[in-house]
Amino acid sequence: MKDGTKDQRKDGRKDGTKNRAPEERRSDPPQTAGVTRRGFLTSVGAGAMAVTAAGGLATAEASAAPVIEPGEMAKITLTVNGRRHRLLVEPRWTLLFVLRERLGLTGTKEGCARGECGACTVLLGDEPRYACLTLAVEADGQAITTVEGLLDGEELGAVQQAFLEEDAYQCGYCTPGQILAAEGLLRATASPSPAEIRVGMSGNLCRCGAYPHIARAVERAAELKGGERSDMSGGMPGDRAGGIQKGGRS
């Protein structure tokens, strides 16, 4: 009733119908494109209730999650290159820091430390990931592969061998990240096309500009792994449509 009274006052001010019976005013057509004001307010109200309920749910979930205080250590388990490690880590530590400084796996390089260069690429499961943008606690319970894990005993793995054969590096600083990006690509697509190679490797920069060799190495690695070589015989990827694109991995 209170709302109705307010509506009546408003209506009265607008169109001079303040003396009409409430029933008449309710039948007035304050409609826009088939939606009544009442209908609109009802639906908005229902939406707001749904949002409030969802917010309540999120709050309940958040309050159920364990809270780690600053400086407090979290217990995590990482399986790195097939070996299980139980670790105490600070919540702010990146996976890159833990791999290099706690596990001594310095094959994974730090370049920009902000998700731009790809030097820190590792595999989380089979997916290439920037270790500098991944918190160690996020990787808890997961399998991680670094460049050291691609060795086949004392022999180089297929992708490493292919990079060596195709001379796909100069200073070599980006190379571990490039190799892991290629490994991830080939696990997802055994025989990638030139375009798929460009896209798959687009999150890894090479400041020495070894892109054409890197693309040929990915092809060669596909061959060594048993996939078929894609048709790049007509030229290097750098000769076509911009070569390997530069950019971050999403």
Q: Interface with ligand FES by CB under 6 A: which range of 7-15, 50-58, 116-124, 185-193?
A: 116-124
Q: What are the helix (H) ranges across the chain?
A: 2-15, 22-27, 37-64, 95-97, 158-165, 175-188, 194-200, 211-224
Q: Interface with ligand FES by CB under 6 A: which range of 8-16, 36-44, 58-66, 207-215?
A: 207-215
- As a whole number of angstroms, the longest Cα–Cα distance in the chain is 96
Q: Select from 204, 206, 199, 205 the least CA-distant residue to 237.
A: 199
Q: For ligand FES, which is the closer residue by CB, 93 or 169?
A: 169
Q: Does position 73 bind ligand FES by CB under 6 A?
A: no
| CB of residue 121 to ligand FES, shortest distance in Å | 7
**Radius of gyration over every alpha carbon of the chain, rounded to an integer in angstroms:** 30
Q: Pattern of binders to ligand FES over 120-139, x per CB under 6 A?
A: x---------x-x-------
Q: How many Cβ atoms sit within 10 Å of the Cβ of residue 76?
A: 21
Q: Does position 111 bind ligand FES by CB under 6 A?
A: yes
Q: By CB under 6 A, how many residues form the interface with ligand FES?
A: 23
Q: For residue 78, what is the enclosing H or E element?
A: strand 74-80
| CB of residue 214 to ligand FES, shortest distance in Å | 8
Q: SS3 of 183, please?
A: helix
Q: Does position 210 bind ligand FES by CB under 6 A?
A: yes
Among 117, 137, 186, 197, binds ligand FES (CB under 6 A): 117
Read off the tokens for 12. 């009265």
Place of tokens 């606690």: 137
Q: Does position 206 bind ligand FES by CB under 6 A?
A: yes
Strand partners of residue 144: 80, 124
- Interaction residues for ligand FES, span 22-61 (CB under 6 A): none
Q: Interface with ligand FES by CB under 6 A: which range of 32-40, 81-89, 140-148, 200-208?
A: 200-208
